[in-house]
Amino acid sequence: MPTFQAADGVEIYWEQWDSDSDLPPVLLHHGFIANGLANWVLPGIVDALTATGRRVITIDARGHGRSGKPHDPSLYGETRMAQDVSTLLDRLGIEQVDVAGYSMGAVVALVLATRDPRLRRLVIGGVGSAVVELGGVDTRVIPAEAFREAFHTEDPATITHPAAAGFRAFVDAVGGDRAALAAQAAALHATPLPLDTVAIPTLLIAGRDDVLATRPELLAKAIPNARLAVIDGDHLGAVRVPAFTEELVSFLNTH
């Protein structure tokens, strides 16, 4: 099982599909609760990229999938996750990379784009105005107390907040570690990002019915070289809409 040890000792799982393309590899970073398999493999996005000859890398963020799952919030946050990506790129000797991130992974990708000069193109999805206004995913949709209830209650039937109930159902469906996910929820990035420094070509994909990606045009305008594509779908469904894959592959395959 391909893993590496992060700077703070957490084991990080990753996976790779090789190719012979002259374009750089594509690194895909999943959203909160998900993992590389659920976010990128099962919806067919990895297959669509490899079919065009691209080398693809997925990573399971700390606390998710097959990576280590500490329960200490100080070991979480999108900045730490971005550092994990940079560490993986170092270990693989990658000098240039395209990055796509969804939801939490979009915030990770944006943090990475402000710090790592190896990025050539960037795709972000599942986020909107909150990245500009709050510095990360839209925590206005689910209050912190509702998040705590969703992760800590033993009986999900007692969860009263509809969006929180949906997140809990997702956790249970993927067999997530609720204590680890609660630690990440307590450490979500919530400080301003220097979006004006992200000069690389960027594509923002937002589902029309995604309550976590409202007013995406505000985020697109904050990134100097960004284009917005609005597609059908809500937060959990947009990655399975064919237009999501079509937009992503077409954009990343541009020289």
DSSP assignment of 34-76, as one string? --HIIIIITTTHHHHHHHTT--EEEEEPTTSTTS-----GGG-
User: Which pLDDT tens digit goes with each residue over 101-145?
Assistant: 999 999 999 999 999 999 999 999 999 999 999 999 999 988 777
User: Which pLDDT tens digit goes with each residue over 176-207?
Assistant: 999 999 999 999 999 999 999 999 999 999 99
Of 100, 88, 134, which is closest to residue 238 (Cα–Cα)?
100
Q: Are 84 and 68 in contact (CB under 8 A)?
A: no
Q: How far apart are the first and last CA of the chain?
A: 33
Report pLDDT for 1: 77
Q: Rounded distance, CA 158 to CA 154, Å?
A: 9
Please report, for residues 76, 150, 178, 227, 245, the alpha-carbon distance to residue 49 in angstroms, rounded to integers and kept in the order given: 30, 35, 32, 20, 9
The reported pTM is 0.97
Give the number of other Cβ atoms within 10 Å of residue 242's Cβ: 12
Arithmetic mean of pLDDT, 215-229: 98
Percent of the chain with pLDDT over 90: 90
